[in-house]
Structure 1
Amino acid sequence: MDVKERIKELTEILTKYDYHYHVLDEPLVDDATYDSLLAELKKLEKENPGLVLAHSPTKRVGGKVLAGFKAVQHGTPMLSLGNAFNSSDLEDFAIRAKKKTSQPLTYVAELKIDGLAVTLTYENGMLVRGATRGDGQTGEDITENLKKIKSIPLKLTQPVNIEVRGEVYMPKLAFDKLNEQRKQEEKPQFANPRNAAAGTLRQLDTSIVAKRNLSIFFYSIANSDEFGSTHSENLSALKELGFRVNPNYKKLSSIEEVYAYCNDWQQKRENLPYEIDGVVIKIDSLSIQRELGYTAKSPRWAIAYKFPAQRSFSKLLDVTFTVGRTGAITPTAILEPVQLAGSTVSRASLHNEDYIEQKDIRIGDTVVVQKAGDIIPEIVEVIKEKRSGNEQKVKMPKTCPACEKEAVRLPKEAALRCINPKCDAQIKERIIHFASRGAMDIEGLGPAVVNQLHQSNLINDVADLYTIDIGDLTKLERFGEKSAQNLVEAVENSKKQPLSRLLFGLGIRFVGQKAARLIAEHFQNLDKIVESNHEQLEEIPEIGEKIAVSVNDFFSQKQALELVDRLKKIGVNTKQPKTEVVQSELSGKNVVLTGSLNQLSRKEAKEKIQQLGGTVTGSVSKKTDIIIAGENAGSKLEKGKELGVKIESENYLVKIINS
């Protein structure tokens, strides 16, 4: 056998052994045999580098240092799920679904792995890209790091084009081993397996990822219609293609069975070799999923049942106060450290004055601490029987803890607030938010650097960032020529960010990333947003009164207008790229989608119609020009017929798209 054939044979044999060991948990050979074959393959590849195959198992060992992570736009958004916390929430989920479809419902329940969501793209069965979830629309390219996870196939069993979603996690044993090693090396320990997994995937040295024994479970296919008509069929397809699917999923015929499944795994979760924080429930039929569609944030056909928060006892040692970017003064409990849901907790939010008074929380109290949704620590109860009489009531500050100006409680608000616009704490928090990854994404401008620049009087608002030069930075501690140049370049590059990121970065109350994108895409120019009234803002789908009023209030302030003017003069982009519109027979037409589409998702259909110059509306009226009717179209179709609206099939739309 020549060298080329031997390399191919060894690659296939070791790939098979990896699959059985890391995916099926069924080792076919002992470690010595595997290591011997791997050593032979390494030797042959070193001597014949031109013969190395793309899916060689040697690519999972060793590593290289990456320059950084590039942004990746998700073809299909990675949405978050709505939450259920009890049987009533699950019943409400089922009732809402049944109101929107006449088809019988069956469900698939899956364990909710406490890890990091990723998406992987395969072309002709070969892994070409892997990315983090990010903000759901845009993630980071971490392909090289994902290749180091042995339970991720580099080559599938079939040469298909597929995009799959999975949850990367660190097994409990691997987590304990890693923290023990870090303890011996006198390095900070990770708080929990999820943080360890997330930190590992963002390592620029891929050899670190290879050593940390991460694993993955795959749970969905983005282009799902091509692999079955149900979610459970998709899970079977994933297994056949060589993906590792959690074996504990179950197809269920009623919401009562779903609740029983959730209760069962709540009791058994501690026996698993990995952390879970709940159960994900999905309606099995893909056609019903399309029929139900999505809200602004999550699918209507899926929900996450969150296990009751784990609780523990601690002692309240003190209360401190911090000031956020909007001036809200938040009390924080300082606790005796306690282990809770896999991490050490020593601080907990006390929310506001009303929360403290309602629970009668006092310094020195023995308290019950829980993690809300297994994430945010909070005090839920005071054990008053353990009071000694020496406990002290929490005194809310009369002045801002940062600037010492008067602290006030505005009408209809629970939060105590500093209303001094020149408060140092607010200024720094606003700048930190402006530079954050979801906003202007200025790499290297973290809290410590912002604090240093502010203390040196180099920045007092976000516009000042664009006036800093390399000479300013090299005068500061820990800033060399190279690091100063990198920061100045990062700030300069942020000028090109789209309007949606700038709008989010300005820190307008209630305006998150999604709302900022919707507003920016609607107006496409910052001046138009500034000039708009709240009625015009409310015309944007998914933008409600609270957001609209907040945007108007923000841009009615002289200080905000002056800041916008400075940013424009500096050269910061204030426009949103316009989606290219193609002239077609849909141009200028009002289109209504109804029923189940088989060739396009509802979101894809809407985007395509908009690109073709049409406007998609949610209801049928005299202004409706065309109804695209899929399977099981209901009242909208009937109303359209009554009004004499033109009725077309999905094939009509597909034909226009492909023409």
Structure 2
Amino acid sequence: MSSAELRIAALREQLAQHNHNYYVLDAPTIPDAEYDRLFRELQALEQQHPELRSNDSPTQRVGGEALKAFAQVQHEVPMLSLGNAFSDDDLHDFDRRVREGLGDLLPAGDLFGGGAAVSYTCEPKLDGLAVSLLYENGVLVRGATRGDGSTGEDITLNVRTISNIPLKLHGDGWPQILEVRGEVFMSRAGFAELNARAMAEGSKVFANPRNAAAGSLRQLDSKITASRPLEFCAYGFGRVEQGELSDSQFQILQQFKQWGLPISPELKLVQGAKALLAYYQDIGARRDQLSYDIDGVVYKVDDLAWQAELGFRAREPRWATAHKFPAQEEITTLLDVEFQVGRTGAVTPVARLAPVQVAGVTVSNATLHNMDEVARLGLMVGDSVIIRRAGDVIPQVVSVVLERRPEHARAVEIPHSCPVCGSAVERTQLVKRGKGKASVSEGSVYRCVGRLACQAQRAQAIIHFASRKALDIDGLGDKIVEQLVSQALLHSPADLYQLSFEQIVGLEGFAELSTRNLLQAIAESRTPSLARFIYALGIPDVGEETAKLLARALGSLERVSQALPEVLTYLPDVGLEVAHEIHSFFADAHNQQVIAGLLANGVQLQEEGELHAEFSACATLASLLEKLNIAHVAATGAQRLAERFGSLEAVMAADWLDLRSLERFNEKAAQALRDYFAVPAHVAYAQQLEAQLLAFGMHWNSERKQLSGLPLAGQTWVLTGTLEAMTRDDAKQQLEALGAKVAGSVSAKTHCVVAGPGAGSKLAKAQQLNVPVLDESAFIQQLAALKG
């Protein structure tokens, strides 16, 4: 190596270490002037030897020309939001749900205790912008915003300008592919400095540090971002390939710190709910003394295996929550309570308030959630009420100031008939399923029974059906749907496909071109994927990810619509309550009529096929017995029954002597089993479950489909660039359905790369390694050939 190369390498190493000491360890070892001298020396050498410049050099944090627009990034591991706790009771409920979810995995406690305490990591919840940093072979190659959790913005050039983000990880031992997740924020001092500079220049000032950080990170010119005092704090990870991390959340963050990634100095590992509350109170007491804004603290189950066991609910993990600090509160007057009707028919009370400023925002409406909440508050129209912005976002009524109640105050009453359609309003019932029985109680929600006869439900159902993540009917916005419904042109989503030119062209806002465009968009939506169609139906508690899972796993609308609740729970992250919602939806005669109307009007589902190979023969006799929820028969007992009797019929026919001879199967369990199968309805349902498992190919005696028998089994594919005819998620699912593994990086073992517009380093590496490359058109042709 030349002397210049050696000096440049030495300077880069020194500056990286000094950055680490300053930003991560908060222990600088040289004065600023000395740092500046070393930095300028490196700049001069790189200018003299441009061939020696490197993207991971400390001098290369500022990007080049301003970007014209941000490219989209598909998060291969979704960036989920967190559930919230707002009170001590909420915190204890979170800890209880975690312990119940872990069940037998949680070690027993002492003789008088209720089980061992769960270990949690605790850290402040920074008020900034969530980002993803992707490192390949230790080098930062991509930065992205969280976006909607599935798709974010490519902000690589901007994150490179943030001083405490290492462009190259320190040390060794990191996975070859490592996605670090964290928060970009602005300190209070940095925010004050930025606004002071803006005022001096006569430019716009920011309202708060969070807005300043978000606005700075989304600049199209990375030089502007570089001029802003942004900081980064790592709190988790996404993709990890070709390497391993610790099995502890706390230890992973310690690894991050060793690799030069900043983590919260307030990070702490504690045991149990009492310690969580103590941490919350401690941070809360010191909140104003911190150098940055926080809006709460975050708790996460420390053990990664336990995180996996607990899984996810909708779009949030069951193993983590954000404990929010009380928001700013104000007093105002409740002028009235109105009732809104939602897509599912829920009749929800909404408080109309005398306008008041809360946390810098004028509030005139607030959520009341449901009538149980109205009763809990003892709320009456005319009351003086305390309002807060729960979680700093949604205004809500906290309490009533009883001493100010006026004489004319009147009670809040749920309407007997729907305020939109006049149909009856009924209170929902809750079914709680336990061992061998179900108890029914009154729910907190009231619903209009008018279904699609109710204009509000009809409009909301069709708006959801046409939304971007559903059938994505361009131009069919809320106002247009409401107009079509009010004109009695739409009574269900199926009616969309019977609309004529003459019916639309005369409506407000429509001319010939806009009418033809709308009809064309509706026509183009006739071939949705099965996943989009399931999501578009608006099944309660079935979001986009659950819809994708149902489509991928079961493969056809027929199987999804026929699946019994216990069969659905064989799919990952589908609990029994969601399974009952899905089953009840498809069992409803009205919903069946709407689906039949859609299919009769030319909707043709795409990507239907067989049960995914992953779920073939996935059921066992033991798991089926466990899912029957027989009192005193848990997983271990179910396994012993399966091993002893071998078939469902033999278990149901087992007599008292057979069961008494079963090792470690106690008398209570034996009696409960006999009592359960003494009920003809239980026998019939168990047989129905087994018959469906056989029909679907999930039964323990079904043929197990080997992934090796699929056309792309054993192959590794890589997707890069922007796909136009399908999303990256769709392409990934189709490849996986054909047996391929979809990786995030290109290597000599990669079988093929699919490159869309904007493909960069992965395409270059594929060409360097002579890996076959397909454009999107060729990829689609190959998919068709493989499926054909």
Does TM, normalized by the shorter one, top 0.5? yes
**Post-superposition shift, 1:216?**
2.8
The answer to whether structure 1 residue 434 and structure 2 residue 465 are counterparts is: yes
The Cα offsets for residues 407-433 of structure 1, whole Å up to 9 and x where unpaired, read as 531243643537262555434433443
C-alpha distance 301-512 of structure 1, shift in aligned 2 (>3 A): closer
SS in 2 for 1:315: strand
Gaps of 5+ in 1: 595-615, 626-637, 646-655
In 2, the alpha carbon distance for the partners of 1:411 and 1:67 equals 48
Could you tell me how far apart the structure 2 residues matched to 1:61 and 1:35 are?
A: 24
Kept in 2: contact 1:520–1:576 (CA 8 A): no
- CA gap of 1:15–1:618, structure 2 versus 1, over 3 A, is farther
Structure-2 separation of matches of 1:326 and 1:23: 49
Summarize the alignment of residues 407-486 of structure 1 with structure 2, pairs less than 5 Å apart.
407-412=423-428, 414-415=445-446, 417=448, 419=450, 421=452, 423-436=454-467, 438-440=469-471, 447=478, 462=493
What residue ranges of structure 2 are gaps of 5+ in the alignment? 109-115, 429-442, 624-634, 645-662, 666-699, 701-712, 716-788
SS in 2 for 1:557: helix
Q: Aligned letter for 2:464? A: H
- In structure 2, give the amino acid aligned to 1:102: P
For 2:61 and 2:222, how far apart are their aligned partners in 1? Answer: 13
CA contact under 8 A between 1:325 and 1:426: conserved in structure 2?
Answer: yes
Larger displacement relative to structure 2 (333-342 or 33-42): 33-42
Structure 1 Cα separation of the partners of residues 313 and 495 of structure 2:
35
In 1: Cα distance, 2:356 partner to 2:373 partner: 22
What's the CA shift for 1:152? 3.0
Q: Which moved more, 1:41-50 or 1:249-258?
A: 41-50
SS in 1 for 2:639: coil
Matches of 2:539 and 2:325, distance apart in 1:
33
**Counterpart secondary structure, 1:166:** strand
Match of residue 63 from structure 1: 66
**Structure 1 residues 458 and 148: CA distance shift in structure 2, 3 A:** farther
Residue 594 of structure 2 corresponds to residue 560 of structure 1: yes
Counterpart contact for 2:527–2:603, Cα < 8 Å: no
Structure 1 residue aligned with 2:608: 575
C-alpha separation in 2, matches of 1:417 and 1:470: 33
Give, in whole Å, the separation in 1 of the partners of 2:501 and 2:50. 47
- 2 CA distance for matches of 1:445 and 1:259? 48
Equivalent position of 1:165 in the other structure: 181
CA offset digits 1:176-200 (Å, max 9, x no partner): 7889979x9999987x766776677
Give how far 1:363 is off. Answer: 4.0
CA distance in 2, matches of 1:22, 1:456: 62
Moved more, 166-175 or 8-17: 8-17
1:155 maps to 2:158: no
- Compared CA separation, residues 42 and 25, structure 1 to 2 (3 A): farther
Q: Which has the higher contact order (CA 8 A, sep 6+)?
A: 1
Letter of the structure 1 residue corresponding to residue 135 of structure 2? Y
1:140 pairs with 138, 148, 152, which one?
152
Measure, in 2, the Cα distance between the counterparts of 1:381 and 1:203: 42
Aligned length: 599
Q: Distance in 1 between matches of 2:162 and 2:51?
A: 23
Residue 125 of structure 1 is aligned with which of 134, 138, 150? Answer: 138
Determine whether 1:376 maps to 2:379. Answer: no
> Aligned pair 1:294/2:311, yes or no?
yes
Q: In the alignment, what sits opposite 1:278? A: 296
Q: CA deviation at 1:123?
A: 0.9
How far the C-alpha of 1:248 sits from its partner, in A, is: 0.6
Would you say 1:53 and 2:69 are equivalent positions? no
Normalising by structure 1, what TM-score? 0.69
What corresponds to 2:232 in structure 1?
Answer: 216
Letter in 2 for 1:415: Y
CA contact (8 A) 1:319 1:394 kept: yes
Q: Hey, what's the Cα distance between the residues in 2 that align with 1:622 and 1:657?
A: 37
Q: Does 1:92 align with 2:102?
A: no
**Distance 1:439-1:639 versus aligned 2 partners, 3 A rule:** farther
Change (3 A) 1:409 1:133: same
My pick for the range that moved more, 258-267 or 24-33, is: 24-33
| Cα distance in 1 for residues equivalent to 2:147 and 2:261 | 23
Pick closer, same or farther for the CA change 1:309–1:71 going to 2, 3 Å. same
Q: Work out whether residues 421 and 453 of structure 2, in 8 Å CA contact, stay in contact via their aligned partners in 1.
A: no
- 1:502 matched to 2:504? The reply is no
Superimposed CA distance per residue, residues 11-65 of structure 1 (whole angstroms, 9 cap, x where no aligned partner): 7677666656655566766599859968995997799599562565344576312
CA shift, 1:266, in A, is: 2.2
Q: Any idea what SS the aligned residue of 1:65 has?
A: coil
Which one has a bigger Cα radius of gyration? Answer: 2
2:493/2:594 contact within 8 Å kept: no
Q: Deviations over 1:146-193 (max 9, x none)?
A: 4454443332124632222223445456667889979x9999987x76
Mapped partners of 2:179, 2:132: distance in 1: 7
| Contact persistence 1:62–1:210 (CA under 8 A) | no
Letter in 1 for 2:402: K
Mapped to 2, the partners of 1:6 and 1:560 lie a distance apart of: 73
Give CA deviations for 1:337-390 in whole Å, capped at 9, x if unaligned: 545567654421123455445534344421012344554322132112123435
CA positional deviation for 1:316:
2.6
Name the CA distance, whole Å, in 2 between partners of 1:591 and 1:397: 49
CA–CA separation in structure 2 for the residues paired with 1:47 and 1:219: 38
Q: Do the aligned partners of residues 560 and 220 (structure 1) sit closer, same or farther apart at CA in structure 2, a change above 3 Å counting?
A: same
Cα distance in 2, alignment partners of residues 459 and 35 from structure 1 = 72
Q: Which amino acid aligns with 1:129?
A: R
The 8 Å contact of residues 317 and 363 in structure 1, kept in 2 or not, is answered as: yes
Sort the Cα spacing of 1:621 and 1:316 in 2 relative to 1 into closer, same or farther, 3 A: same
Alignment partner for residue 241 of structure 1, among 253, 256, 259? 259
Q: Is the 8 A contact 1:335 1:348 kept in 2?
A: yes
Compared with structure 1, are the counterparts of its residues 327 and 292 closer, same or farther at alpha carbon in structure 2 (3 Å cutoff)? closer
**How far apart are 1:251 and its partner, in Å?**
3.0
CA drift of 1:218 comes to 0.8
The 2-side partners of 1:293 and 1:330 are apart by 31
Give the secondary-structure state (helix, strand or coil) at the position aligned to 2:72: coil
CA–CA separation in structure 1 for the residues paired with 2:511 and 2:209: 34
**Whole-angstrom distance in 2 between the partners of 1:449 and 1:177:** 47
1:435-467 deviation digits (Å, cap 9, x = unpaired): 545545667866467668878999876567779
2:344 to 326, 339, 349: 326
Percent identity for Structure 1 against Structure 2 = 32
- Looking at structure 1, the residues matched to 318 and 140 of structure 2 have their Cα atoms a distance apart, in angstroms, of 31
Q: How far is 1:261 from its partner?
A: 1.8
The 1:133/1:498 distance shift into structure 2, 3 A limit, reads farther
